[in-house]
Amino acid sequence: MAETFEPGVYKTPVINHCLNCGKHINLAGPADGKDTGPPDDGSLCICIQCGGVMAYDAQGRIRGLTEAEMDNICNDPAAMAHLGQMVQAVRLIPKMN
């Protein structure tokens, strides 16, 4: 069972760093408030600092998206729209530093 920070927000098994800005990422939670459990391999991660889009691997580490994952998202207008909304929402969060 994954350790939670608060209901619906899971501690990652390793401390990650955003591949774009280097921000420490050790929590994973749903951008839309719907608890879907801890991230799985291929679950998307949006950096709360810069809005960079990445994915988790099976060990909870952050990695870049594969070409297939990017193709799947880019070829699905609903997924693109949802991802765009989530990135915009994250970018509107006031930043601590």
Contacting positions for Zn ion (CB under 5 A): 18, 20-21, 23, 47, 49-50, 52
Which of 12/49 has CB closer to Zn ion? 49
Q: Kindly state the smallest distance separating residue 73's Cβ from Zn ion, in Å.
A: 18
Which of 75/97 has CB closer to Zn ion? 97
Q: Are 11 and 1 in contact, with CB atoms under 8 Å apart?
A: no
Q: What is the four-CA torsion angle of 33, 2, 61, 55, rounded to 10 degrees?
A: -30
Which of 13/22 has CB closer to Zn ion? 22
